Amino acid sequence: MAELFLKVRNGELSAKKAASILGVSRKTYYKWEKRGLKGILDALAERQVGRPELPPEDPEKLEMRKELERLKAENLRLQKQLEVKDAYHRLQLESLEDKKKEE
């Protein structure tokens, strides 16, 4: 198709003949030609190198991530607090056992 478009543009072939080869009307041929030539030009356009930027993150997802991090930090704090309480209770039990042994 691109070859036909270029031949018509160079005057080597009429639009009517190209439309006939493609089995479409001249109106449809011109519509396809316009899209085809635009596609060729778009493909040859300068582009930025590298990966495209990521779209901005969904605000709801961002809020959920923040909440997850807050809950993880709170969970860690509570675990440490529980460890301290357990250690304190063990010390109290050991102290009571030592007192019983002394008696």
pLDDT, tens digit, 9 for 90 and up, residues 6-35:
999 999 999 999 999 999 999 999 999 999
DSSP calls for the chain: -HHHHHHHHHTSS-HHHHHHHHTS-HHHHHHHHHHHHHHHHHHHS---SSPPPPPPPPHHHHHHHHHHHHHHHHHHHHHHHHHHHHHHHHHHHHHHHHHHHH-
pLDDT per residue as tens digits for the range 40-67: 889 888 888 888 888 888 999 999 999 9
pLDDT at 71 over 90: yes
Q: What is the pLDDT of residue 100?
A: 80
